[in-house]
A and B are shown apart, each in its own frame.
Chain A
């Protein structure tokens, strides 16, 4: 029997502390996040933390991919490069794991959060690579078309 629901509950209980830590550190996590007022930053960080909780509870890769797709698009609209978005997501996951290490005995939640962060980083890279592939194909097509003329 899996222990994930238990860990997901532990994570939910831990979330306020993680949020507090992230709000304190948001200026160092991400410059654009640091410029936001606390309420807006809370909303953005909260979305990522909620996603982490959902992924811990369900392990649904499709949901994770959908969330990350939207998150990347939103951050891109705010002039955030994909690399910076990736760094921010990793920093949030890392902070959550750090708080879990300090607050939760046993350490399994820390390990799980670290692995979820690794999975998130991989998913983001896959999305960036897909986008890169599409755009490179477009570029090649246009270049060939112009060459044919």
Chain B
């Protein structure tokens, strides 16, 4: 058990009328606050002090501890009363007392008279052990005054009991059961009258030596005004085993800081000065700016059990670098060097003190996680910004491309209308225009386009409004169903920007090639994105598409010779469209190593796909409606001979229509997609068909599934865009709050530096020098 006491006359009083008893051998401690008359207060407290101490010393083994202490205090009162009666100049003198006697390591008896107090600090919480003997306090106890009234009462400091007022004093006694780590504080009113309970609790719980705490408490009262004599005694029971966090905060932080030179050396050897982030700085300056700053940030975070300093360090470092256009690799390399330096320091500490080194190892590893978290936040924010730019750019790009396609589409269609144009002359023309979507506009390739689906898809991304798109689709469908054999040229002329223009005369291929390409139209302003829910309902576009395919097949069978051209143009179109909207989609983390291409499937494959679907449907429960819908969607996408992404978008929209991120989430939909993939793959194996055909069917279905999943993911992202905006706003607010917290932390650190009583110059900003480790 450790103990210490201290006393000060304060900033106002000329004399110190307080007295202390600090007798660890006897286990006796007391604070006495004298009062009354010139020089009489100190006489009263000293007289009572001596009497109590002598009484306990001589009768320690004759009475029980509580009775002994009570009797000693009564004897002290008698002595003071007698002295006051005998000498007129000391008439009215008296003293308060709060005293304790250690019975055994687990028990302490506390007695008091007057307004000197005893506090117990247990597990960081401060509890009052005594109750003041003042008139106001007794009125409050009887219910005659409220606590608020007592605070303002003019007689709040008038004692109802003291030693010396009567020959015998009435003593209050408390038997305390103490635990390891408890601290008992005895003090006069000069402390609690000029210091808050929170500040007393903070100092008492600092873990410092009792001697330092006793002195710091007096300093606290003096800073609070020091209007009275102030006395403190701190008694600490057997210390409890420190928790790991306490060890890290105290000796861990200090040990880390003591190894800062090693950290800097390791960073220097690791090549920190060569990193592009600090290029241009002298090596020593680079080390100080980066390595020492991180070392200091880790020290402060270890001491405070926070991560705010390391977070701020990493964020400042990386945001500055990113704003200068820097790359991730440089940050990554720098953090690697710093992490390696930290681990080198930790290894050295573990060699000297394995237990402490282990705790520091865990704490430093966590600090490095905080660094990664801060960097991840910045990277994610940059990714979001780039994504937003890409969406805008793609929208304008698709808009422009569509305009080009429709303009030159009508023109070429009119050229092809000339029956004398030979296959041989048209093929080079199509090849020459490869790389642009205008190559699609030969009659045969148009015949393979799933025009309604393509139009619907484009309307989602370009400037067509939803009603316009719906009108377009309705008209196309009407023409499909009415004419049945409507030519592709007629379908495309629907979109001709100049529908009344007369077809130009045919011209030689060479002349056509030499014709300058018309300049692209200026990009239109980016239209507002079409919400998934507001889009027109999907239409049964399959009939038209099949008819067009049939036209193409019939034409190929009768005329022959054009199929290679059809395939080439078709493939170019698909590649072009895929380049724009699939392989470079804005879906995060879409693997780039999985190109999605499908140039349409022959009839035998389509027939086999239909059989596979029948097999798959037969294997699911009638109640699995979502799975059945997914299979139907998969069938549509896989059978899409046009081979573009539009069918997948339509199917995904239909599926997504019944799901919402606000309701049960989209995971059931993705689960169903996964189950459908497994079902279909198993069904392909059951198909009675040549191996080659089964392979083609499986490939077609896999491609379709991939498209469907991609389209569904895109819809989900589109739907959550508003939430992303809100999230961004929240992130902004969080950032502001974090800055405010960091500012408050800095302010707190500044205040602690300012009010630290002893500065240890070996530490970065000083701390109390005799901290108990």
List residues of A whose CB falls within 8 A of some B CB.
36, 40, 69, 72-74, 76-79, 81-84, 86-87, 90, 94, 97, 101, 107, 110-111, 114-115, 117-118, 121-122, 124-129, 131-136, 138-139, 142-143, 146, 149
Contacts of B396 in A (CB 8 A): 146
Q: Is B379 a contact of A79 with CB atoms below 8 Å?
A: no
Q: Is A79 a contact of B380 with CB atoms below 8 Å?
A: no
Q: Is B665 a contact of A132 with CB atoms below 8 Å?
A: no
Q: Is A132 a contact of B667 with CB atoms below 8 Å?
A: no
Q: Is B372 a contact of A125 with CB atoms below 8 Å?
A: yes
A133 to B375, CA, bound (A): 15
Q: Is B592 a contact of A90 with CB atoms below 8 Å?
A: no
Contacts of A40 in B (CB 8 A): 665, 667
A94 to B307, CA, bound (A): 14
A118 to chain B, nearest CB (A): 5
Contacts of B520 in A (CB 8 A): 149
Say yes or no: is B373 at the interface (Cβ < 8 Å to chain A).
yes
Q: Is A133 a contact of B328 with CB atoms below 8 Å?
A: yes
Q: Mark B644-685, 1 if CB is under 8 A from A, else 0.
A: 000000000000000001000111001000000000000000
Contacts of A84 in B (CB 8 A): 727
Contacts of B153 in A (CB 8 A): none
Contacts of A83 in B (CB 8 A): 376-377, 379-381, 731
Tell whether A129 pairs with B328 under 8 Å between CB atoms, given A73-B588, A86-B380, A114-B365: yes
Contacts of A127 in B (CB 8 A): 589
A137 to chain B, nearest CB (A): 10
Task: Using CB atoms, name the residue of chain B closest to A124.
Answer: B376
Q: Is B369 a contact of A146 with CB atoms below 8 Å?
A: no
B559 to chain A, nearest CB (A): 37
Tell whether A118 pairs with B365 under 8 Å between CB atoms, given A77-B713, A79-B723, A86-B373: yes
Contacts of B361 in A (CB 8 A): 111
Q: Is B372 a contact of A77 with CB atoms below 8 Å?
A: no
Tell whether A107 pairs with B390 under 8 Å between CB atoms, given A76-B589, A78-B666, A81-B380: no
A125 to B318, CA, bound (A): 13
Say yes or no: is B688 at the interface (Cβ < 8 Å to chain A).
no
Q: Is B589 a contact of A73 with CB atoms below 8 Å?
A: yes
Other A-B pairs beyond A74-B670, A76-B587, A146-B393, 10, CB < 8 Å = A72-B589, A73-B590, A78-B665, A79-B661, A79-B717, A79-B724, A97-B362, A114-B366, A125-B332, A132-B383
A110 to B358, CA, bound (A): 10
Task: Using CB atoms, name the residue of chain A closest to B368.
Answer: A118
Q: Is B386 a contact of A132 with CB atoms below 8 Å?
A: yes
Of the residues B373, B393, B713, contact of A90 by C-beta under 8 Å: B373
Contacts of A143 in B (CB 8 A): 393
Q: Is A126 a contact of B332 with CB atoms below 8 Å?
A: yes
Q: Is B376 a contact of A121 with CB atoms below 8 Å?
A: yes
B704 to chain A, nearest CB (A): 19
Contacts of B661 in A (CB 8 A): 78-79
Contacts of B716 in A (CB 8 A): 77-79
A133 to B325, CA, bound (A): 12
Residue with the greatest number of chain A CB neighbours at <10 A, chosen from B381, B520, B727: B727
